[in-house]
């Protein structure tokens, strides 16, 4: 069980305005609604640079939302799903290529073709429904990332339906960091529906402190202090419905067709790459603690914080020095 430790410092990311700001740098914040969520961008620097960076970032958000949105008839994903193959933009191609690598390396725990199953449960339309085993088996027969093939700038779906919902926001946050840098913004933070990505240090030179939410309350289970990193969380508590006292959430185990039941309540990934962090947060949630530990030991480029169903907290050793919690936790070592 989770045990209380000594209470430590307060959390900064959710209370961005309380972060100390160096007098020489002014900050500006922008809120955009896209990809079905609220996105908050904050950049610090000269007024012109910050203004230009936020304008360009907002354009990029709208652009990616447009080309990746499944129901938008002009989107790359719509075209692939509708016709079975399509020539796509550089961004879509890159994102799908990276997604396929994660599908493969996680042995299909992450699968960008789970759409028929998510749709059956009503997570797409929000007309929630608990399907029968036969219906699930039928939907699962249309799932399998192995069928998807990327060549030149074309994507071949091989008879499956693509959904990049498990990774799009991570790719987007990574692009926003590039846009900030290209506009000479050296300090910034974005939260895309809770997916956080930081650039440089805070304006006062300190690290950004990112809260890890308690899946069961509005409190936090800990905080991670980072620079230039994405901190991306997946949890069953984020989107779900309840029927006859049972909670059904939006992260599907592609092997069973049911909402993943792996013993994890939430997993946060810390990585230089937003794309990797987003893909892995979903994948490790499906895989559960033991498989995730094994995956972490055999793959580089990320660290993780897990909270299990029995309320224990685990972190991987790469973030040992930058994780603080008022609860006891276990460090997973290589």
String of contacts with ligand ADP for each residue 61-80, x by CB under 6 A: --------------------
Report the site for ligand ADP in 2-61 (rule: CB under 6 A): none
Q: Which two tokens stand for residue 307?
A: 């909270």
Report the site for ligand ADP in 268-307 (rule: CB under 6 A): 278, 281-282, 286
- Among residues 166, 236, 257, 274, the one that binds Mg ion under rule CB under 5 A: 166
CB-CB contact of 198 with 227 (8 Å): yes
Q: Provide the terminal-to-terminal Cα distance of the chain, rounded to the nearest Å.
A: 24
Count of residues that interact with ligand ADP, criterion CB under 6 A: 21
CB-CB contact of 227 with 200 (8 Å): yes
Strand-by-strand arrangement of the 220-226 sheet:
208-213, 220-226, 323-324
> Binding to ligand ADP by residue 106, rule CB under 6 A?
no
Residue closer to ligand ADP (CB basis): 100 or 332: 100
Among 242, 35, 234, CA closest to 128: 242
Report the site for Mg ion in 52-111 (rule: CB under 5 A): none
Report the site for ligand ADP in 110-139 (rule: CB under 6 A): 110-112, 114, 118, 123
Residue closer to ligand ADP (CB basis): 281 or 316: 281
> Binding to Mg ion by residue 233, rule CB under 5 A?
no
String of contacts with ligand ADP for each residue 239-268, x by CB under 6 A: x----------xxx-x--------------
Report the site for ligand ADP in 145-164 (rule: CB under 6 A): 163
Q: How far is the CB of 313 from ligand ADP (least distance, A)?
A: 19
Site of tokens 């700038």 = 153
Which residues sit at the interface with ligand ADP, rule CB under 6 A? 110-112, 114, 118, 123, 163, 165-166, 193, 234, 238-239, 250-252, 254, 278, 281-282, 286
């Amino acid at each position: 069980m989770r045990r209380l430790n000594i209470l430590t410092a307060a959390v900064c990311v959710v209370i961005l305005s309380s972060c100390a700001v160096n007098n020489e740098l002014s900050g500006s914040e922008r809120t955009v609604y896209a990809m079905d969520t609220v996105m908050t961008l904050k950049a610090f620097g000269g007024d012109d640079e910050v203004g230009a960076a936020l304008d360009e970032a907002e354009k990029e958000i709208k652009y990616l939302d447009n080309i990746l949105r499944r129901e938008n008839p002009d989107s790359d994903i719509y075209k692939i799903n509708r016709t079975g193959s399509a020539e796509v933009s550089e961004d879509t191609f890159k994102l799908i290529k990276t997604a396929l690598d994660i599908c493969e390396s996680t042995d299909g725990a992450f699968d960008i073709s789970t759409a028929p199953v998510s749709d059956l449960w009503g997570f797409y339309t929000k007309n929630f429904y608990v399907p029968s085993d036969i219906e699930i088996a039928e939907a699962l027969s249309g799932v399998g990332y192995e069928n998807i093939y990327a060549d030149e700038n074309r994507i071949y779906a091989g008879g499956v339906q693509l959904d990049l919902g498990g990774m799009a926001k991570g790719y987007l946050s990574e692009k926003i960091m590039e846009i900030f840098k290209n506009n000479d913004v050296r300090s910034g933070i974005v939260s895309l529906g809770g997916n956080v990505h930081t650039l440089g240090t805070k304006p006062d030179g300190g690290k950004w402190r990112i809260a890890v939410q308690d899946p069961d309350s509005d409190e936090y289970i800990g905080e991670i202090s980072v620079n230039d990193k994405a901190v991306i969380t997946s949890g069953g508590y984020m989107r779900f419905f309840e029927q006859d006292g049972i909670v059904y959430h939006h992260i599907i185990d592609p092997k069973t067709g049911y909402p993943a039941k792996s013993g994890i309540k939430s997993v946060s990934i810390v990585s230089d790459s937003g794309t990797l962090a987003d893909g892995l947060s979903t994948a490790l949630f499906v895989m559960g603690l033991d498989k995730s530990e094994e995956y972490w030991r055999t793959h580089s480029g990320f660290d993780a914080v897990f909270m299990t169903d029995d309320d224990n907290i685990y972190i991987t050793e790469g973030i040992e020095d930058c994780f603080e919690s008022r609860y006891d936790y276990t460090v997973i070592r290589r």
